[in-house]
Amino acid sequence: MIDDAIRVLAGDCTVIAENADREEYRGRVTTIVKPDNTVLVHDADGYQPVAWLTRADSVSSDRTGDFTLVAKKDTQTLRIAAHDQDGFAHYPTSAAGTPVGDCPDCGGALVRSSDVTCVSCGDRYGVPADAMIRDDRCDCGLPKMRVERGLAFSICLDRGCESLDAAVKEAFDREWDCPEQGCDGELRILRRGGLIAGCEHYPDCEVGFAVPAGVIDGECACGLPTFETASGIRCLDATCDRALDGTLEADSAADD
């Protein structure tokens, strides 16, 4: 479903903002109430609202006669009372983002902000922050995305169609031994908050490493793989204090 509507209230209003101080304004203003309860009061000047409340805990309104609106968040209160109402309306809204294709269900535009969303039907697909949306399509009609988790995977936007977790698990489950001294376990690919390589003997062994965004390019001196990431080469164990330089030098010598 598409997101809840944006409400728009316009008229000659008194606006009272109460926080540590009390500020009062009056004028012909337009008030916008977003689906997340963010309230913005705009006048004729500039782009910045004269008063606002971000993601209010509650927004109540009364349209009996001229409208009133009260928004509250913690100790902040924003009150708007119309002396002369010019209009009240509500309009459907969606996330706005970079166009990445067309929705196979309704033909609407797919856009990427934090997620990928259809601006027409509201279908939403969660994508990793580092994912690149590709031009090629899955058999289901959705675009594919390129995500680096040890390898570069090309999978569907819809996790119900193709699962990144399943792809990484197929490639790397039990691929590495647990580095904990005295532990004979192997690292499993698991979902614990994020995607991790964790010891199969958990909770007896609590070793676990977040799988980084990058591709494997070698092996660290500790025995775990190294990843080429956007910020440089790093070990699977982000806290590893063993010298990667020594590993790389050994590799160079072997090549010679």
CA 17 to chain centre: 31
Rounded average pLDDT over 9-32: 94
Task: State which amino acid sits at residue 232.
Answer: G
Give CA–CA dist 63/230, Å, rounded.
53
Give CA–CA dist 46/113, Å, rounded.
26
Q: What DSSP state is assigned to residue 41?
A: E
Rounded average pLDDT over 125-133: 94
Residue 247 confidence (pLDDT) above 70: no
Find the DSSP H helices in the chain.
164-172, 244-255
Task: State which amino acid sits at residue 246.
Answer: G
Give CA–CA dist 8/241, Å, rounded.
57
In this predicted structure, what is the pLDDT of residue 108? 93
Choice among 124-128, 157-161, 230-234, 246-250 with the minimum mean pLDDT: 246-250
Q: Is the pTM of this model over 0.75?
A: no
- For residue 39, give the 3-state DSSP assignment: strand
Give the pLDDT band of residue 3 (cuts 50, 70, 90). low
In this predicted structure, what is the pLDDT of residue 51? 95
Give CA–CA dist 222/234, Å, rounded.
12
- Residue 100 corresponds to which tokens in the numbers above? 């990445």
- Residue 67 corresponds to which tokens in the numbers above? 């409208």
Q: How many CB atoms lie within 10 A of CB 224?
A: 20
- Average pLDDT over the chain reads 90
Residue 2 confidence (pLDDT) above 50: no
Rounded average pLDDT over 70-85: 95
Residue 95 confidence (pLDDT) above 90: no
The structure tokens 């004979």 sit at: 184
Give CA–CA dist 37/51, Å, rounded.
14
Give the pLDDT band of residue 16 (cuts 50, 70, 90). very high
Q: Are 110 and 117 in contact (CB under 8 A)?
A: yes
Q: Are 200 and 185 in contact (CB under 8 A)?
A: yes
Give CA–CA dist 183/189, Å, rounded.
17
Model confidence pLDDT, tens digit, residues 141-165? 999 999 999 999 999 999 999 999 9
Residue 1 confidence (pLDDT) above 50: no
